[in-house]
Amino acid sequence: MDFLPVFLDLRDHRCLVVGGGEVAERKTGLLLRAGAAVTVIAPQLCQGLRRRVADGAVTHHARRYAEGDLDGCRLAFACTDDRAVNAEVSRAAQARNIPVNVADDPALCSFIMPSIIDRSPIVAAVSTGGASPVLARLIRMRLEQLIPTTLGRLAGFTASFRDQVKARFASGRERKAFWEAVLQGPIAERVLAGQEPAARKMLEQALASSSLAVGGEVYLVGGGPGDPDLLCSRALRLMQQADVVVYDRLVSQAVLDLTRRDAERLYVGKERDRHALPQEEINALLARLAKEGKRVLRLKGGDPFIFGRGGEEIETLMEEGVPFQVVPGITAAAGCAAYAGIPLTHRDYSQACLFVTGHLKDGTADLNWTALAQPHQTVVIYMGLNALPIVCRELQGHGMPAETPIALIEKGTTPEQRVIIGTLADMPERVAGASVRAPTLIIVGEVVRLHERLAWFEPGD
């Protein structure tokens, strides 16, 4: 180990920054976040530092560094573009045993700055010992994606219960086991999800009984339109925690592969005229699994609340008293349209957007065709492949011009994405000879004309 990681207490201590550019601004920002009293020495300041001085957050002396500026300082940064000045600050600081960092000059530093992941009061630091600062930043970026932004809230929550837990459990081993159960179970998830009052109640009940009964829970997660990179960090965290995965046909394999490898997987997908499980049985299955103490991931394509029947599922969970969380997903309309280069709204083409389902019932698509055929709007049709001839016929019959552009997007956002462009007049014929299979999304409106100009996603990338 070339450097000893140390976290310094700088609160209310005077720290010096020599320099007035963007690097000096970044160092000043870090010191202020640590509660330091910052003095900046520089003839001129960048805009960001000028704002901090104007706000009274920083003391500024508009001159060059001078002997004595380090008196009473706990820490110093030299950030000028003049190496001689930086070296002078470094020598003076080290002569006074004041830790000093010189930007981009490790030879003049008595300490180096790591890349920081700040989830105060939790702080993690990554350093390559000055060998590759860019690599340290890349590692930090990966960790930023993995560590919940609300982790600091969880630390504060546990701190508020430390005395009670210590009083309740006599031995350190018991306290350790208790906290491990808390931090790996539903109480921690409640805190991370912003449901602190519920978490507090659960922990108080656990303390009253001197045990932590770990109950089941359902995570209703939107898996997005197919590209796993579109999942949010909270979705990924819950996907890795679940004991059982209950998933739909529209969940892509790439997304399913991100769930915990040893989790049980239950397929409940629905296809035309063939359902693995009726919806009522899916609802009951989720409640039963959770009541068995399992963490159940209900993974849906797109967003659970946009033609995903998520509302019906959580109604059952609430009736059964089963705790649950909902994580929205990028709905197919937003994801597929973006990857196809078709903005759903555009000032010159469309000022409204309607989402409808084209799922046939008794061979018909019972939609408000008059409302859908209005000008200056975009119509997005989910599950409309089999109803496409009816859609094109009815929209024309209710006043939409035959030359209105329409797009059909097959397997959107995935490497197999295909976009077929036509008009209301010729689209059924185009699709009939193209061997198209679900999942598909249909977009109708003038915005479709922008596809060739704005498309950026190349399938297979």
- Catalytic residue list: 248, 270
Beta-carbon count within 10 A of 1 CB? 5
CA 351, CA 377: separation in Å to the nearest integer?
A: 6
| C-alpha span between 191 and 206 (Å, rounded) | 16
Give the span between the Cα atoms of 344 and 87, in whole angstroms: 57
Edge to edge, the sheet with strand 100-102 lists 58-61, 37-41, 14-18, 75-78, 100-102
- Can you tell me which residue has the tokens 């830790």? 99
Query: Are 250 and 301 in contact, with CB atoms under 8 Å apart?
Result: yes
Query: In angstroms, rounded to a whole number, what is the distance separating the alpha carbons of residues 444 and 378?
Result: 6
How many whole angstroms from its chain centre is CA 329? 10
Q: Which residue has the tokens 């946009």?
A: 306
Separation CA 298–CA 35 (nearest Å) = 44
Q: How far apart are CA 90 and CA 79, in angstroms?
A: 11
The closest of 364, 233, 220 to 302, measured between CA atoms, is 220
Residue 404 near residue 439 (C-beta atoms within 8 A): no
**Dmax over Cα atoms in the chain, in whole Å?**
89
Rg, Å, the chain Cα set: 29
Neighbours of 81 (CB within 10 A): 11
User: Measuring CA to CA, which residue among 395, 414, 278 is closest to residue 336?
Assistant: 414
Element containing residue 219 per DSSP (H, E): strand 217-222
Q: With both helix axes pointing from N to C terminus, report the angle between 151-168 and 196-209 in degrees, rounded to the nearest 10.
A: 20
H-run or E-run covering 116: strand 115-119
Residues 39 and 66: their CA atoms lie apart, in Å, by: 13
Identity of the residue numbered 163: D
Q: How many whole angstroms separate alpha carbon 18 and alpha carbon 90?
A: 11
